[in-house]
Amino acid sequence: MTQPGNDGMAVAGFVCSLLGIVSCGFLSPVGLILSWISLSRKSSGLATAGLVIGIIGSLWIIIALVFGLFAVILGAIGVAAAP
């Protein structure tokens, strides 16, 4: 039995966002979406925390992908310029 005021989706969003930070951001978008849905239903501290952590983790993975793509492009330019 759940306690009054505990929203399962808020808890799931928070946990996914927190695990997303540990897993290099891969679960953060899932936690972000779950927390956002939970926050739209009713305001909860866990949903807000999951939303903030989900945003940070999602930005983390976006930045990593941009730098990775940049490294691949620079590597391709370097290979093409090699004699």
pTM of the model: 0.78
- Identify the DSSP state of 23: T
* Rounded-to-integer distance, Cα 59 and Cα 3, Å: 33
User: Which pLDDT tens digit goes with each residue over 24-73?
Assistant: 778 899 999 999 999 888 878 889 999 999 999 999 899 999 999 999 99
**pLDDT category of residue 1 using cuts at 50, 70 and 90:** very low
Burial class (CB in 10 A: 0-12, 13-18, 19+), 48: middle
Residue 36: per-residue pLDDT: 92
Q: CA 27, CA 34: separation in Å to the nearest integer?
A: 11
